[in-house]
Amino acid sequence: MSNICRFTNKKPLNGYKKSNSNKKTKRWFKINLLKKKIYNISKKKWIKFKISTTGLRLIKKKGLSFFNK
Protein backbone atom coordinates (compact mmCIF):
# COMPACT_ATOMS: atom_id res chain seq x y z
CA MET A 1 0.00 0.00 0.00
CA SER A 2 1.34 3.43 -0.87
CA ASN A 3 1.82 6.49 1.34
CA ILE A 4 -1.71 7.88 0.97
CA CYS A 5 -4.14 8.54 3.80
CA ARG A 6 -7.34 6.60 3.24
CA PHE A 7 -9.63 9.27 4.68
CA THR A 8 -8.11 12.63 3.75
CA ASN A 9 -6.37 11.50 0.49
CA LYS A 10 -3.19 13.29 1.55
CA LYS A 11 -0.12 12.37 -0.51
CA PRO A 12 3.58 13.22 -0.26
CA LEU A 13 4.50 16.50 -1.98
CA ASN A 14 7.73 17.20 -3.78
CA GLY A 15 9.80 20.33 -3.63
CA TYR A 16 13.35 21.58 -3.28
CA LYS A 17 15.98 21.48 -0.57
CA LYS A 18 17.88 24.79 -0.66
CA SER A 19 21.42 25.29 0.57
CA ASN A 20 23.01 28.57 1.67
CA SER A 21 24.45 29.02 -1.81
CA ASN A 22 20.88 28.66 -3.18
CA LYS A 23 21.54 25.29 -4.90
CA LYS A 24 18.33 23.34 -5.20
CA THR A 25 17.98 19.56 -4.99
CA LYS A 26 14.71 17.65 -5.25
CA ARG A 27 13.17 16.18 -2.10
CA TRP A 28 9.88 14.74 -0.83
CA PHE A 29 7.74 16.24 1.93
CA LYS A 30 6.26 13.12 3.52
CA ILE A 31 2.97 13.14 5.43
CA ASN A 32 2.65 11.97 9.01
CA LEU A 33 1.19 8.48 8.48
CA LEU A 34 0.33 6.01 11.23
CA LYS A 35 -0.68 2.36 11.09
CA LYS A 36 -3.77 2.06 13.29
CA LYS A 37 -6.30 -0.60 14.21
CA ILE A 38 -9.76 0.86 14.83
CA TYR A 39 -12.72 -1.11 16.17
CA ASN A 40 -15.82 -0.86 14.00
CA ILE A 41 -18.87 -1.20 16.24
CA SER A 42 -21.37 -1.91 13.44
CA LYS A 43 -19.31 -4.75 11.91
CA LYS A 44 -17.96 -5.85 15.33
CA LYS A 45 -14.37 -6.28 14.19
CA TRP A 46 -11.01 -4.51 14.07
CA ILE A 47 -9.97 -2.75 10.85
CA LYS A 48 -6.37 -1.80 9.96
CA PHE A 49 -5.71 1.57 8.34
CA LYS A 50 -2.80 3.68 7.15
CA ILE A 51 -4.06 7.03 8.31
CA SER A 52 -2.65 10.53 8.71
CA THR A 53 -2.84 12.31 12.06
CA THR A 54 -5.42 14.76 10.68
CA GLY A 55 -7.51 11.79 9.51
CA LEU A 56 -7.29 10.29 12.99
CA ARG A 57 -8.52 13.57 14.50
CA LEU A 58 -11.44 13.58 12.01
CA ILE A 59 -12.42 10.05 13.07
CA LYS A 60 -12.33 11.05 16.74
CA LYS A 61 -14.44 14.13 15.99
CA LYS A 62 -17.03 12.77 13.52
CA GLY A 63 -16.82 9.00 14.03
CA LEU A 64 -16.00 6.14 11.69
CA SER A 65 -19.61 5.90 10.46
CA PHE A 66 -19.23 9.37 8.86
CA PHE A 67 -16.71 7.94 6.37
CA ASN A 68 -18.69 4.77 5.62
CA LYS A 69 -21.42 6.71 3.78
Percent of the chain with pLDDT over 90: 61
pLDDT score recorded for residue 42: 82
Report the top-level CATH class of 13-66. mainly beta
Q: Where are the domains of the chain?
A: 13-66
Residue 38's nearest CA partner among 50, 54, 23 is 50
pTM: 0.71
Distance between CA atoms of 42 and 9, rounded to whole angstroms?
Answer: 24
Predicted confidence (pLDDT) per residue in 5-31, tens digit: 988 999 999 999 999 999 999 999 999
